Amino acid sequence: MTTDVDALLAPPSAVAARALDVVRAWSAPALANHCLRSWAWATVIADASGLEPDRELLFVSAMLHDLGVTPSFDAHAVPFEDAGGAVGSVFALGAGWDAARARRVGEVIERHMWTSVDPDVDVEGHLLEVATSLDVSGAGFDLVPDAVLRAVTAAVPRLDFSSAFDGLVHEQAERKPSSAAARLDGSGNVAVGGARWDAFLA
């Protein structure tokens, strides 16, 4: 399968491009790359599954979904996905989206940490949850062709994402023991996912 990686990674609108600017400005390169890969996996999975997401909404949510673990947006009182969802909603309002669509950004970001999201309820939330699970935990390699996995990862490298994100999730878990981050930390799936990706790309 041949893939136009540049086209796959391209923001679908001017507002989406601004969301990419935001994640690059406020996140480490490894985290920003994770967001771009998550968008790519979500797009490929949507096309293969016959799902029809709002691609601008999905891209913006994918770019901003982990801002809650960054130093500037980490909130001590709420789960990181809730903090990131709030930032995403504020971004969307500032971009001129109406209140309902701006709130959808928050919902999609919050739901990416659910164990599963019904696509009939929230197609963008479902795609972001599945795509981030693939990129973080190595769950669902069969959902994206090997050639696409390799091409996208070559264009947007993993760098130290797995080890850095594992540390960030552990910090969240220690401060927020009832959070989804604590569940993820306890599962060990971030480290396991890093090993799966290392083995796949070797």
Q: Tell me: the pLDDT tens digits for 106-115?
A: 999 999 999 9
- Provide the percentage of residues in the chain whose pLDDT is more than 90: 98
Write down the pLDDT at residue 3: 66
Write down the pLDDT at residue 106: 97
Distance CA 40, CA 131 (A): 8
Write down the pLDDT at residue 200: 96
Does the pLDDT value for residue 60 go beyond 50?
A: yes
Does the pLDDT value for residue 132 go beyond 60?
A: yes
Six token digits for residue 178: 């009832």
- For residue 88, give the nearest of 130, 122, 129, 57 by alpha carbon: 57
Does the pLDDT value for residue 35 go beyond 90?
A: yes
pLDDT in tens, 77-125: 899 999 999 999 999 999 999 999 999 999 999 999 999 999 999 999 9
Give the C-alpha distances (Å, rounded to integers) separating 122 from 53, 81, 125, 167.
Answer: 9, 16, 5, 30
If you average pLDDT over residues 146-170, what whole number do you get?
97
Distance CA 118, CA 125 (A): 8
Does the pLDDT value for residue 1 go beyond 80?
A: no
Write down the pLDDT at residue 161: 97
Give the C-alpha distances (Å, rounded to integers) separating 146 from 37, 41, 72, 153, 157.
Answer: 14, 12, 36, 11, 15
What is the pLDDT confidence band of residue 76, given thresholds at 50, 70 and 90? confident
Does the pLDDT value for residue 2 go beyond 60?
A: no
Count CB atoms within 10 A of the CB of residue 147.
11
| pTM, to two decimals | 0.96
Does the pLDDT value for residue 175 go beyond 50?
A: yes
Count CB atoms within 10 A of the CB of residue 73.
17
Where do the structural domains in the chain lie, given as residue ranges?
5-201
CATH number of 5-201: 1.10.3210
Distance CA 175, CA 92 (A): 28
